[in-house]
């Protein structure tokens, strides 16, 4: 399906003022987009601040909203509250697990409009043909070593300590592992402290031949790397949701993802260099067997399409009522 329109919403900077400016800018731009395109339904995923702003614009325009991944909990990020805000403005809810569905219902949403479908990211894994190690090595200018790690560490927007301090603990642990470990890092996202964190990562990578960093690997390359590495390390939801589906162990650091259900292959660790290093060494020695993934079986898209097909008129969803428990 072709992309009908692109809009640029990011304002310069990653402090609170710049993010607030981005949010305000996005609201005004999406209002114009919806006026021009007049969509029948808006489908949004997650709880990022940049996603949040299109939903109020749709609400004012009386465009019904279908929300994916509502009811999830991530106590270490501002996304947590934003995600719940989106749920209250949404009309259809496609949640990743039963507990998340219960939380959305607790917000006063109609149980008939809450569908437990799993995580859409697992659909890609079920159908994807992964790139080979040789292809990735050439594509990323990377040499596979005895142990290989995929590392993504995002700002912790509700953390007890600065994100840069937490990142330093992780980088100290990675440097302490030695030359047998290859480290593939991706950029932190565009939250507060993100640019300072990126500069710190690039400085470390410049001094280590066994480290490399990429702005974005893209969906196919990212999942292919995840498929081949010995462990995923950091605080990204991908280590919680996608990695277990590929039986790749995860070292999840700190509280950014606190509240999410964890598969057996996920090792939770505090922000401490020694503890992180020990957890990584434990992870690369694991051989996870087939396990139950709390986020479904990779058939979320089919479930979503089936639910949408059952709705004759999307506009009938806009008159919401609060449903008491």
Residues paired with 150 in a beta bridge:
184, 232
pLDDT of 50 higher than 80? no
Question: Does one domain contain both 241 and 256?
Answer: yes
Question: Does one domain contain both 130 and 103?
Answer: no
Nearest-10 Cα torsion for 235, 241, 242, 248? 70
Look up the domain containing 70 and give its range.
16-117+299-317
pLDDT in tens, 171-223: 999 999 999 999 999 999 878 888 999 999 999 999 999 999 999 899 999 99
Angle between helices 273-283 and 163-175 (to 10 degrees): 50
- Write down the pLDDT at residue 234: 97
Query: Is 11 domain-assigned?
Result: no
Query: Is 289 domain-assigned?
Result: no
Interatomic CA distance for residues 72 and 47, integer angstroms: 9
Question: Does one domain contain both 272 and 195?
Answer: yes
Question: Does one domain contain both 96 and 143?
Answer: no
Interatomic CA distance for residues 251 and 278, integer angstroms: 10
Question: Does one domain contain both 151 and 256?
Answer: yes
Q: What is the mean pLDDT of the chain?
A: 93
Query: Is 9 domain-assigned?
Result: no
pLDDT in tens, 281-315: 999 999 877 778 899 989 999 999 999 999 999 99
Query: Is 7 domain-assigned?
Result: no
pLDDT in tens, 26-45: 888 888 999 999 999 999 99
pLDDT of 159 higher than 80? no
Nearest-10 Cα torsion for 113, 86, 266, 209? 140
Question: Does one domain contain both 197 and 81?
Answer: no
Q: What percent of the chain has pLDDT over 90?
A: 76
DSSP secondary structure, 239-254, as one string: HHHHHHHTT--EEEET
Interatomic CA distance for residues 72 and 70, integer angstroms: 6
Query: Is 292 domain-assigned?
Result: no
Query: Is 267 domain-assigned?
Result: yes
Tell me how far the alpha carbon of residue 306 is from its chain's centroid. Answer: 25
Angle between helices 133-140 and 218-228 (to 10 degrees): 120
Query: Is 184 domain-assigned?
Result: yes
Question: Does one domain contain both 107 and 219?
Answer: no
Distances (CA, A) of 96 to 9, 28, 57, 131: 28, 30, 25, 27
pTM for the predicted model, two decimal places: 0.84
Torsion-angle region of residue 276: left (phi > 0), alpha (psi -120 to 50) or beta? alpha
pLDDT in tens, 244-255: 999 999 999 999
Question: Does one domain contain both 34 and 168?
Answer: no
Distances (CA, A) of 306 to 63, 105, 188, 199, 310: 20, 21, 35, 45, 7
Residue 242 and residue 121 in contact, taking contact as beta carbons nearer than 8 Å: yes
Number of domains within the chain: 2
Interatomic CA distance for residues 134 and 228, integer angstroms: 11
Question: Does one domain contain both 155 and 256?
Answer: yes
pLDDT of 25 higher than 90? no
pLDDT in tens, 67-80: 999 999 988 888 88
Question: Does one domain contain both 93 and 142?
Answer: no
- Write down the pLDDT at residue 325: 87
Question: What is the CATH number for 253?
Answer: 3.40.50.2000
Question: Does one domain contain both 92 and 62?
Answer: yes
Instruction: Output 236-239 pairs: Cβ under 8 A, ≥24 positions apart.
Output: 236/152, 236/153, 236/154, 237/74, 238/121, 238/152, 239/152, 239/266
Question: Does one domain contain both 130 and 110?
Answer: no
Query: Is 4 domain-assigned?
Result: no
pLDDT of 17 higher than 80? yes
């Amino acid at each position: 399906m072709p992309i009908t329109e692109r809009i640029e919403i990011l304002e310069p900077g990653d402090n609170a003022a710049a993010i607030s400016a981005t949010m305000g800018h996005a609201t005004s731009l999406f209002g114009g987009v919806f006026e021009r395109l007049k969509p029948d339904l808006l489908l949004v995923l997650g709880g990022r601040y940049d996603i949040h702003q299109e939903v109020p614009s749709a609400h004012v325009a009386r465009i019904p909203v279908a929300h994916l991944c509502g009811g999830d909990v991530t106590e270490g990020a501002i996304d947590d509250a934003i995600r719940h805000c989106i749920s209250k403005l949404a009309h259809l809810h496609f949640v990743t697990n039963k507990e998340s569905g219960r939380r959305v219902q607790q917000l006063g949403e109609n149980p008939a409009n809450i569908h437990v479908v799993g995580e859409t990211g697992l659909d890609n894994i079920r159908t994807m043909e992964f790139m080979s190690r040789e292809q990735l090595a050439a594509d990323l200018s990377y040499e596979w070593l005895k142990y290989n790690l995929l590392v993504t560490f995002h700002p912790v927007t509700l953390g007890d300590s600065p994100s840069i301090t937490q990142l330093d603990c992780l980088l100290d642990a990675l440097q302490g592992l030695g030359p047998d470990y290859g480290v593939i890092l991706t950029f932190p996202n565009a939250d507060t402290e993100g640019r300072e964190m990126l500069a710190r990562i690039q400085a470390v990578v410049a001094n280590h031949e066994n480290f490399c960093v990429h702005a974005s690997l893209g969906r196919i390359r990212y999942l292919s790397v995840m498929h081949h590495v010995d462990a995923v390390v950091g605080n990204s939801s991908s280590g919680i949701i996608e990695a277990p589906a590929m039986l790749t162990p995860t070292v999840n650091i700190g509280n950014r993802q606190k509240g999410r259900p964890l598969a057996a292959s996920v090792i939770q660790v505090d922000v401490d260099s020694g503890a992180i290093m020990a957890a990584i060494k434990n992870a690369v020695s694991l051989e996870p067997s087939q396990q139950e993934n709390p986020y479904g079986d990779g058939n979320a898209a089919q479930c979503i399409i089936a639910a949408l097909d059952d709705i004759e008129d999307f506009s009938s969803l806009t008159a919401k009522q609060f449903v008491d428990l």
